[in-house]
Protein backbone atom coordinates (compact mmCIF):
# COMPACT_ATOMS: atom_id res chain seq x y z
CA UNK A 1 0.00 0.00 0.00
CA UNK A 2 1.93 3.03 -1.28
CA UNK A 3 0.09 6.04 0.06
CA UNK A 4 -0.97 5.66 3.69
CA UNK A 5 -1.55 9.42 3.97
CA UNK A 6 -4.72 9.34 1.92
CA UNK A 7 -8.01 9.24 3.80
CA UNK A 8 -9.34 6.38 1.63
CA UNK A 9 -7.34 3.23 0.89
CA UNK A 10 -8.90 0.81 -1.59
CA UNK A 11 -8.19 -2.84 -2.22
CA UNK A 12 -10.21 -5.71 -3.72
CA UNK A 13 -9.58 -9.33 -3.00
CA UNK A 14 -11.24 -12.73 -2.71
CA UNK A 15 -12.39 -13.45 0.84
CA UNK A 16 -11.96 -17.02 2.05
CA UNK A 17 -14.15 -18.50 4.72
CA UNK A 18 -13.04 -20.36 7.82
CA UNK A 19 -14.47 -21.10 11.26
CA UNK A 20 -13.58 -18.41 13.76
CA UNK A 21 -14.24 -18.05 17.48
CA UNK A 22 -17.11 -16.06 18.95
CA UNK A 23 -15.62 -13.33 21.08
CA UNK A 24 -18.57 -11.48 22.55
CA UNK A 25 -21.99 -12.01 24.10
CA UNK A 26 -24.43 -9.67 22.41
CA UNK A 27 -27.61 -9.82 20.37
CA UNK A 28 -27.95 -7.60 17.31
CA UNK A 29 -31.30 -7.25 15.61
CA UNK A 30 -31.02 -7.53 11.84
CA UNK A 31 -33.95 -5.74 10.18
CA UNK A 32 -35.93 -8.54 8.57
CA UNK A 33 -38.50 -6.15 7.09
CA UNK A 34 -37.15 -6.64 3.57
CA UNK A 35 -39.56 -6.43 0.60
CA UNK A 36 -40.86 -9.90 -0.15
CA UNK A 37 -39.53 -11.31 3.12
CA UNK A 38 -42.60 -12.16 5.20
CA UNK A 39 -41.91 -13.47 8.69
CA UNK A 40 -43.61 -16.71 9.77
CA UNK A 41 -46.91 -16.65 11.66
CA UNK A 42 -46.54 -18.69 14.86
CA UNK A 43 -49.05 -20.19 17.30
CA UNK A 44 -46.74 -20.19 20.33
CA UNK A 45 -46.65 -17.35 22.81
CA UNK A 46 -43.00 -16.38 22.36
CA UNK A 47 -40.15 -17.20 19.99
CA UNK A 48 -36.67 -16.10 18.88
CA UNK A 49 -34.55 -17.08 15.90
CA UNK A 50 -30.86 -16.24 16.34
CA UNK A 51 -27.67 -16.72 14.35
CA UNK A 52 -25.53 -18.73 16.78
CA UNK A 53 -22.24 -17.34 15.45
CA UNK A 54 -23.07 -13.63 15.53
CA UNK A 55 -25.93 -13.32 18.01
CA UNK A 56 -28.03 -11.59 15.36
CA UNK A 57 -31.75 -11.90 16.08
CA UNK A 58 -33.62 -12.61 12.87
CA UNK A 59 -37.09 -13.11 14.33
CA UNK A 60 -38.67 -12.25 17.66
CA UNK A 61 -42.20 -12.66 18.98
CA UNK A 62 -42.98 -11.58 22.54
CA UNK A 63 -39.28 -12.16 23.15
CA UNK A 64 -39.30 -10.52 26.60
CA UNK A 65 -42.39 -12.26 28.00
CA UNK A 66 -41.52 -14.09 31.21
CA UNK A 67 -42.46 -17.77 30.89
CA UNK A 68 -41.40 -20.82 32.94
CA UNK A 69 -38.70 -22.71 31.02
CA UNK A 70 -39.92 -26.14 32.20
CA UNK A 71 -37.23 -28.75 31.49
CA UNK A 72 -35.15 -26.27 29.52
CA UNK A 73 -33.88 -25.38 33.00
CA UNK A 74 -31.86 -28.59 32.89
CA UNK A 75 -29.57 -26.97 30.31
CA UNK A 76 -28.47 -24.47 32.94
CA UNK A 77 -27.93 -27.32 35.41
CA UNK A 78 -25.74 -29.11 32.85
CA UNK A 79 -23.90 -25.87 32.10
CA UNK A 80 -23.07 -25.23 35.76
CA UNK A 81 -21.92 -28.83 36.24
CA UNK A 82 -19.80 -28.81 33.08
CA UNK A 83 -18.12 -25.63 34.25
CA UNK A 84 -17.00 -27.58 37.31
CA UNK A 85 -15.65 -30.33 35.05
CA UNK A 86 -13.82 -27.78 32.90
CA UNK A 87 -12.27 -26.29 36.06
CA UNK A 88 -10.90 -29.72 37.00
CA UNK A 89 -13.08 -30.09 40.07
CA UNK A 90 -14.93 -33.09 38.66
CA UNK A 91 -14.61 -35.74 35.96
CA UNK A 92 -17.18 -37.27 33.63
CA UNK A 93 -16.13 -40.66 34.99
CA UNK A 94 -16.86 -39.72 38.61
CA UNK A 95 -19.31 -42.00 40.40
CA UNK A 96 -22.25 -39.90 41.54
CA UNK A 97 -23.77 -40.81 44.93
CA UNK A 98 -27.53 -41.32 44.96
CA UNK A 99 -29.11 -40.01 48.16
CA UNK A 100 -32.78 -40.73 48.71
CA UNK A 101 -33.77 -37.32 47.29
CA UNK A 102 -32.34 -38.39 43.91
CA UNK A 103 -34.26 -41.64 43.60
CA UNK A 104 -36.94 -41.84 40.95
CA UNK A 105 -39.47 -42.76 43.64
CA UNK A 106 -38.78 -39.47 45.43
CA UNK A 107 -39.75 -37.24 42.50
CA UNK A 108 -43.09 -35.39 42.14
CA UNK A 109 -45.97 -37.05 40.25
CA UNK A 110 -45.77 -36.93 36.44
CA UNK A 111 -42.01 -36.41 36.54
CA UNK A 112 -39.87 -37.43 33.61
CA UNK A 113 -37.29 -39.86 34.98
CA UNK A 114 -33.92 -41.44 34.38
CA UNK A 115 -35.02 -44.11 36.91
CA UNK A 116 -32.28 -43.72 39.47
CA UNK A 117 -32.63 -46.12 42.40
CA UNK A 118 -30.76 -47.10 45.57
CA UNK A 119 -27.72 -49.31 45.10
CA UNK A 120 -26.99 -48.18 41.54
CA UNK A 121 -23.56 -47.14 40.32
CA UNK A 122 -23.84 -44.24 37.88
CA UNK A 123 -21.24 -41.91 36.37
CA UNK A 124 -21.53 -38.18 35.88
CA UNK A 125 -21.51 -38.79 32.11
CA UNK A 126 -24.57 -41.02 32.46
CA UNK A 127 -26.27 -38.39 34.61
CA UNK A 128 -25.77 -35.85 31.81
CA UNK A 129 -27.31 -38.30 29.34
CA UNK A 130 -30.19 -38.79 31.74
CA UNK A 131 -30.72 -35.03 31.82
CA UNK A 132 -30.41 -34.51 28.08
CA UNK A 133 -32.44 -37.42 26.69
CA UNK A 134 -35.21 -38.61 29.06
CA UNK A 135 -35.01 -35.27 30.91
CA UNK A 136 -34.87 -37.00 34.27
CA UNK A 137 -35.92 -34.92 37.26
CA UNK A 138 -34.13 -37.48 39.38
CA UNK A 139 -30.94 -36.80 37.39
CA UNK A 140 -31.34 -33.07 38.10
CA UNK A 141 -31.48 -33.71 41.83
CA UNK A 142 -28.50 -36.06 41.63
CA UNK A 143 -26.31 -33.56 39.80
CA UNK A 144 -27.34 -30.75 42.15
CA UNK A 145 -26.45 -32.74 45.27
CA UNK A 146 -23.18 -33.91 43.73
CA UNK A 147 -21.91 -30.37 43.25
CA UNK A 148 -23.53 -28.66 46.24
CA UNK A 149 -24.45 -29.63 49.82
CA UNK A 150 -28.10 -28.76 49.16
CA UNK A 151 -30.37 -28.33 46.17
CA UNK A 152 -30.86 -24.70 47.19
CA UNK A 153 -27.12 -24.07 47.07
CA UNK A 154 -26.87 -25.52 43.56
CA UNK A 155 -29.83 -23.42 42.43
CA UNK A 156 -28.01 -20.36 43.72
CA UNK A 157 -25.09 -21.34 41.48
CA UNK A 158 -27.52 -21.50 38.56
CA UNK A 159 -28.83 -18.05 39.39
CA UNK A 160 -25.35 -16.62 39.83
CA UNK A 161 -24.42 -17.96 36.42
CA UNK A 162 -27.53 -16.41 34.88
CA UNK A 163 -26.62 -13.05 36.41
CA UNK A 164 -23.01 -13.31 35.24
CA UNK A 165 -24.31 -13.82 31.69
CA UNK A 166 -26.51 -10.73 31.96
CA UNK A 167 -29.78 -12.66 32.05
CA UNK A 168 -31.77 -10.34 34.30
CA UNK A 169 -35.16 -12.04 33.89
CA UNK A 170 -33.96 -15.64 34.10
CA UNK A 171 -34.19 -17.19 37.57
CA UNK A 172 -34.52 -20.63 39.08
CA UNK A 173 -35.99 -22.11 42.26
CA UNK A 174 -35.07 -25.75 41.52
CA UNK A 175 -32.90 -27.48 38.89
CA UNK A 176 -35.33 -29.76 37.03
CA UNK A 177 -37.76 -27.20 35.65
CA UNK A 178 -40.85 -28.73 37.22
CA UNK A 179 -41.68 -25.54 39.16
CA UNK A 180 -43.73 -22.78 37.57
CA UNK A 181 -41.64 -20.31 39.59
CA UNK A 182 -38.60 -20.87 37.40
CA UNK A 183 -38.64 -18.10 34.81
CA UNK A 184 -36.98 -16.99 31.57
CA UNK A 185 -37.73 -15.24 28.29
CA UNK A 186 -37.29 -16.42 24.71
CA UNK A 187 -34.61 -13.78 24.13
CA UNK A 188 -32.64 -14.53 27.25
CA UNK A 189 -32.79 -18.27 26.76
CA UNK A 190 -31.59 -17.94 23.16
CA UNK A 191 -28.68 -15.85 24.43
CA UNK A 192 -27.96 -18.49 27.05
CA UNK A 193 -28.05 -21.28 24.46
CA UNK A 194 -25.53 -19.35 22.38
CA UNK A 195 -23.16 -19.16 25.33
CA UNK A 196 -23.83 -22.79 26.22
CA UNK A 197 -22.77 -23.86 22.72
CA UNK A 198 -19.73 -21.63 22.85
CA UNK A 199 -18.56 -23.09 26.16
CA UNK A 200 -19.65 -26.69 25.56
CA UNK A 201 -19.78 -27.45 21.81
CA UNK A 202 -19.06 -31.13 22.51
CA UNK A 203 -22.44 -31.54 24.23
CA UNK A 204 -24.22 -31.59 20.88
CA UNK A 205 -22.54 -34.83 19.85
CA UNK A 206 -22.10 -36.31 23.31
CA UNK A 207 -25.58 -35.68 24.72
CA UNK A 208 -28.12 -33.59 22.83
CA UNK A 209 -28.08 -35.40 19.48
CA UNK A 210 -28.09 -38.87 21.05
CA UNK A 211 -31.35 -40.50 19.96
CA UNK A 212 -31.96 -42.97 22.81
CA UNK A 213 -30.88 -43.82 26.31
CA UNK A 214 -31.07 -47.22 28.02
CA UNK A 215 -30.83 -47.30 31.80
CA UNK A 216 -30.06 -49.00 34.12
CA UNK A 217 -27.70 -51.43 32.44
CA UNK A 218 -26.00 -54.42 34.04
CA UNK A 219 -23.01 -52.35 35.10
CA UNK A 220 -25.28 -49.91 36.96
CA UNK A 221 -26.87 -52.42 39.33
CA UNK A 222 -25.63 -54.72 42.05
CA UNK A 223 -24.28 -58.16 41.04
CA UNK A 224 -27.46 -59.96 42.10
CA UNK A 225 -29.50 -57.97 39.53
CA UNK A 226 -27.09 -57.97 36.59
CA UNK A 227 -28.87 -60.74 34.72
CA UNK A 228 -32.13 -58.75 34.96
CA UNK A 229 -31.20 -55.07 35.48
CA UNK A 230 -34.64 -53.82 34.46
CA UNK A 231 -33.31 -51.68 31.63
CA UNK A 232 -35.73 -49.00 30.39
CA UNK A 233 -35.13 -47.60 26.89
CA UNK A 234 -36.18 -43.99 26.38
CA UNK A 235 -35.98 -41.78 23.29
CA UNK A 236 -35.01 -38.18 22.75
CA UNK A 237 -38.11 -35.94 22.78
CA UNK A 238 -36.55 -33.58 20.22
CA UNK A 239 -38.26 -34.72 17.02
CA UNK A 240 -36.15 -32.31 14.97
CA UNK A 241 -33.23 -34.71 15.28
CA UNK A 242 -35.15 -37.04 12.98
CA UNK A 243 -37.19 -34.62 10.90
CA UNK A 244 -35.09 -31.51 10.20
CA UNK A 245 -31.75 -31.75 8.40
CA UNK A 246 -28.81 -30.37 10.37
CA UNK A 247 -30.43 -30.50 13.82
CA UNK A 248 -28.12 -31.68 16.60
CA UNK A 249 -29.74 -30.25 19.77
CA UNK A 250 -30.93 -29.04 22.23
CA UNK A 251 -33.91 -29.73 24.57
CA UNK A 252 -37.68 -29.87 25.00
CA UNK A 253 -39.78 -28.97 28.03
CA UNK A 254 -43.35 -29.02 29.30
CA UNK A 255 -45.30 -28.12 32.39
CA UNK A 256 -48.97 -27.14 32.55
CA UNK A 257 -48.19 -23.56 33.60
CA UNK A 258 -45.82 -22.93 30.67
CA UNK A 259 -47.09 -25.10 27.87
CA UNK A 260 -44.74 -26.73 25.39
CA UNK A 261 -41.21 -25.28 25.09
CA UNK A 262 -38.21 -26.16 22.98
CA UNK A 263 -34.68 -24.92 22.28
CA UNK A 264 -33.38 -26.15 18.91
CA UNK A 265 -30.12 -25.70 17.07
CA UNK A 266 -29.34 -26.74 13.51
CA UNK A 267 -26.37 -26.18 11.21
CA UNK A 268 -26.20 -26.20 7.41
CA UNK A 269 -23.30 -25.13 5.21
CA UNK A 270 -21.52 -23.23 7.95
CA UNK A 271 -24.58 -21.39 9.24
CA UNK A 272 -26.00 -22.38 12.63
CA UNK A 273 -29.28 -21.10 14.01
CA UNK A 274 -30.78 -21.24 17.49
CA UNK A 275 -34.56 -21.30 17.89
CA UNK A 276 -36.32 -20.92 21.23
CA UNK A 277 -40.08 -21.51 21.37
CA UNK A 278 -41.90 -20.85 24.65
CA UNK A 279 -45.54 -21.22 25.55
CA UNK A 280 -47.07 -23.39 22.84
CA UNK A 281 -50.60 -24.07 24.14
CA UNK A 282 -50.89 -26.57 26.98
CA UNK A 283 -53.63 -28.46 25.18
CA UNK A 284 -53.87 -31.70 23.25
CA UNK A 285 -51.78 -31.15 20.13
CA UNK A 286 -49.76 -28.35 21.73
CA UNK A 287 -46.50 -30.17 21.08
CA UNK A 288 -47.37 -30.24 17.36
CA UNK A 289 -47.93 -26.48 17.43
CA UNK A 290 -44.52 -26.03 19.08
CA UNK A 291 -42.80 -28.30 16.58
CA UNK A 292 -44.54 -26.69 13.61
CA UNK A 293 -43.44 -23.25 14.82
CA UNK A 294 -39.87 -24.44 15.23
CA UNK A 295 -39.84 -25.93 11.75
CA UNK A 296 -41.24 -22.70 10.27
CA UNK A 297 -38.55 -20.59 11.91
CA UNK A 298 -35.64 -22.83 10.99
CA UNK A 299 -36.83 -23.22 7.40
CA UNK A 300 -37.36 -19.48 7.05
CA UNK A 301 -33.95 -18.77 8.55
CA UNK A 302 -32.04 -21.12 6.28
CA UNK A 303 -34.01 -19.93 3.24
CA UNK A 304 -33.22 -16.25 3.72
CA UNK A 305 -30.07 -15.82 5.84
CA UNK A 306 -26.50 -17.03 6.16
CA UNK A 307 -23.37 -16.37 8.22
CA UNK A 308 -20.38 -14.87 6.40
CA UNK A 309 -16.90 -15.33 7.84
CA UNK A 310 -14.47 -13.09 5.94
CA UNK A 311 -10.76 -13.49 6.62
CA UNK A 312 -8.77 -10.37 5.78
CA UNK A 313 -5.19 -10.17 4.66
CA UNK A 314 -2.93 -8.39 7.12
CA UNK A 315 -3.93 -4.74 7.10
CA UNK A 316 -1.13 -2.28 6.23
CA UNK A 317 0.29 -0.09 9.01
CA UNK A 318 -1.06 3.43 9.27
CA UNK A 319 0.93 6.69 9.24
CA UNK A 320 1.14 8.23 12.70
CA UNK A 321 1.99 11.89 13.16
CA UNK A 322 3.77 13.29 16.23
CA UNK A 323 4.28 9.76 17.52
CA UNK A 324 7.28 7.88 18.84
CA UNK A 325 6.96 5.64 15.78
CA UNK A 326 5.95 6.71 12.28
CA UNK A 327 3.62 3.76 11.71
CA UNK A 328 1.34 1.57 13.82
CA UNK A 329 -0.91 -1.44 13.40
CA UNK A 330 -4.68 -1.26 13.40
CA UNK A 331 -7.37 -3.96 13.48
CA UNK A 332 -11.15 -4.31 13.03
CA UNK A 333 -12.98 -3.28 16.19
CA UNK A 334 -15.62 -6.00 15.79
CA UNK A 335 -15.67 -9.71 15.00
CA UNK A 336 -15.55 -10.07 11.23
CA UNK A 337 -18.26 -12.71 10.91
CA UNK A 338 -21.76 -11.37 10.36
CA UNK A 339 -25.24 -12.36 9.27
CA UNK A 340 -26.57 -11.31 5.89
CA UNK A 341 -29.34 -12.14 3.46
CA UNK A 342 -28.68 -15.33 1.54
CA UNK A 343 -28.85 -13.61 -1.85
CA UNK A 344 -25.98 -11.24 -0.98
CA UNK A 345 -22.32 -11.95 -1.82
CA UNK A 346 -23.29 -14.65 -4.29
CA UNK A 347 -20.58 -14.08 -6.92
CA UNK A 348 -18.16 -16.83 -5.86
CA UNK A 349 -18.26 -15.29 -2.39
CA UNK A 350 -16.08 -12.45 -3.64
CA UNK A 351 -16.13 -9.21 -1.69
CA UNK A 352 -14.35 -5.88 -1.99
CA UNK A 353 -13.17 -3.92 0.97
CA UNK A 354 -12.28 -0.30 1.49
CA UNK A 355 -10.44 1.29 4.38
CA UNK A 356 -11.52 4.79 5.34
CA UNK A 357 -8.89 6.37 7.61
CA UNK A 358 -9.00 9.55 9.65
CA UNK A 359 -6.37 11.92 8.28
CA UNK A 360 -4.21 12.93 10.02
CA UNK A 361 -3.88 10.42 12.87
CA UNK A 362 -2.01 12.16 15.66
CA UNK A 363 -0.37 10.59 18.73
CA UNK A 364 -0.82 9.90 21.56
CA UNK A 365 -3.66 7.39 21.26
CA UNK A 366 -4.66 4.63 23.69
CA UNK A 367 -5.20 1.10 22.46
CA UNK A 368 -8.66 0.73 20.92
CA UNK A 369 -8.89 4.30 19.60
CA UNK A 370 -10.97 4.69 16.45
CA UNK A 371 -8.93 5.51 13.35
CA UNK A 372 -11.54 4.90 10.64
CA UNK A 373 -13.80 2.26 9.14
CA UNK A 374 -13.55 -0.99 7.23
CA UNK A 375 -16.31 -1.26 4.62
CA UNK A 376 -17.24 -4.54 2.89
CA UNK A 377 -19.00 -4.58 -0.48
CA UNK A 378 -20.50 -7.24 -2.69
CA UNK A 379 -21.69 -6.82 -6.28
CA UNK A 380 -24.90 -5.15 -5.06
CA UNK A 381 -23.32 -2.55 -2.81
CA UNK A 382 -22.20 -1.92 0.76
CA UNK A 383 -22.66 -5.03 2.89
CA UNK A 384 -21.14 -4.13 6.23
CA UNK A 385 -19.27 -1.29 7.91
CA UNK A 386 -17.19 -1.73 11.06
CA UNK A 387 -14.77 0.46 13.02
CA UNK A 388 -11.00 0.20 12.78
CA UNK A 389 -9.06 0.69 16.01
CA UNK A 390 -5.45 0.92 17.13
CA UNK A 391 -3.98 -2.45 18.07
CA UNK A 392 -1.69 -1.03 20.81
CA UNK A 393 -1.09 2.17 22.73
CA UNK A 394 0.53 4.78 20.50
CA UNK A 395 2.97 6.97 22.40
CA UNK A 396 3.74 10.59 21.65
CA UNK A 397 7.16 11.36 20.20
CA UNK A 398 9.77 13.66 21.66
CA UNK A 399 9.74 17.44 21.31
CA UNK A 400 11.71 17.59 18.04
CA UNK A 401 9.68 14.74 16.50
CA UNK A 402 6.44 16.54 17.31
CA UNK A 403 7.84 19.82 15.99
CA UNK A 404 9.01 18.30 12.70
CA UNK A 405 5.68 16.57 12.13
CA UNK A 406 3.78 19.76 12.96
CA UNK A 407 5.79 21.64 10.30
CA UNK A 408 5.22 18.80 7.84
CA UNK A 409 1.48 18.82 8.48
CA UNK A 410 1.34 22.61 8.14
CA UNK A 411 2.94 22.61 4.69
CA UNK A 412 0.93 19.59 3.61
CA UNK A 413 -2.24 21.46 4.57
CA UNK A 414 -1.10 24.48 2.52
CA UNK A 415 -0.40 22.20 -0.43
CA UNK A 416 -3.84 20.63 -0.23
CA UNK A 417 -5.48 24.06 0.02
CA UNK A 418 -3.64 25.38 -3.03
CA UNK A 419 -4.37 22.18 -4.96
CA UNK A 420 -8.09 22.58 -4.31
CA UNK A 421 -7.94 26.21 -5.40
Q: Which residue has the higher pLDDT, 379 or 243?
A: 243
pLDDT tens, 148-207?
999 999 999 999 999 999 999 999 999 999 999 999 999 999 999 999 999 999 999 999
The CB-based long-range contact list for 199-206 (8 Å cut-off, 24+ gap) reads 199/79, 199/82, 199/83, 199/86, 200/78, 200/79, 200/82, 203/78, 203/82, 203/128, 203/132, 203/249, 204/248, 204/249, 204/250, 204/265, 205/248, 206/128
* CATH superfamily name and code, 28-306: DD-peptidase/beta-lactamase superfamily (3.40.710.10)
Residue 96 has pLDDT above 60, yes or no: yes
Greatest C-alpha distance within the chain: 100
pLDDT tens, 115-143?
999 999 999 999 999 999 999 999 999 99
In whole numbers, what is the pLDDT of the chain averaged over residues? 89
The pLDDT confidence band at residue 35, using thresholds 50, 70 and 90, is low
Please give the pLDDT value at position 324. 93
Please give the pLDDT value at position 26. 47
Please give the pLDDT value at position 34. 53
Q: Which residue has the higher pLDDT, 417 or 27?
A: 417
pLDDT tens, 388-403?
999 999 999 999 989 9
Asked whether 304 and 297 are in contact (CB, 8 A), the reply is: no
Percent over 70 (pLDDT), the chain: 89
Asked whether 194 and 263 are in contact (CB, 8 A), the reply is: no
Residue 28 has pLDDT above 50, yes or no: yes
Q: Which residue has the higher pLDDT, 19 or 122?
A: 122
Q: Looking at the domain covering 8-20+310-420, what would its CATH class be?
A: mainly beta
Mean pLDDT of 347-362: 80
- Its pTM stands at 0.85
Sketch the domain layout of the chain as residue ranges.
8-20+310-420, 28-306
Please give the pLDDT value at position 29. 59
Amino acid sequence: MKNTQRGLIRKSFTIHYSLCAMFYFIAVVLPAQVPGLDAPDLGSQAAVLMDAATGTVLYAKNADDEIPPASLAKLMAIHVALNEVAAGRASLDDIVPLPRAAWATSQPPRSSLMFLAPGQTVTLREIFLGLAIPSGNDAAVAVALYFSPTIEAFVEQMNQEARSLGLSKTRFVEPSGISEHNMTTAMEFALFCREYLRFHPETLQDYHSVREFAYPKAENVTPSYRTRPGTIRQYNHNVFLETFEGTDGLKTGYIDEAGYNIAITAERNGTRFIVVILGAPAVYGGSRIRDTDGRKLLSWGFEHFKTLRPVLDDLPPIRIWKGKENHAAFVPGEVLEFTTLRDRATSADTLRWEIELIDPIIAPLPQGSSVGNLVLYDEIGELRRMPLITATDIEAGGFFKRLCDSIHLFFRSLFKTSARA
